[in-house]
Structure 1
Amino acid sequence: MKEGREQWRRLQVRAAVRDAPEVAAEVLRHLGYDVAPRTPAPADNVERLHAF
């Protein structure tokens, strides 16, 4: 059960990063990572962010 929950959470993190890459980069910077966007920076997937 624990392994399944971990896999689910990691899958959700991947989806969230794809849908809001600048937010993900901001969190990584806060944690001390150097993050540089590609040019042009990828846009948020607003449609997915509004979906439920």
Structure 2
Amino acid sequence: MSRIRSEVQTGWKLLKTHLLRLLQEVSPREKVCIQVLTRSYNHWCDGIGPLYS
């Protein structure tokens, strides 16, 4: 079990590093769009979440 957990953690670290590199290559305009979409999504989830609780 410990070996599997270690492999998952290693895979996650590689994915996280890759995503951070991709974000560095994104233009400032794209970063703003991503932030706006993320905020909108979070706001929507906050509003609709209680309906499913």
The TM-score with structure 1 as length reference comes to: 0.49
Query: Between Structure 1 and Structure 2, which shows a larger proportion of helix residues?
Result: 2
**Larger C-alpha radius of gyration, 1 or 2?**
2
The TM-score with structure 2 as length reference comes to: 0.49
Q: Larger relative CO (CA 8 A, sep 6+): 1 or 2?
A: 1
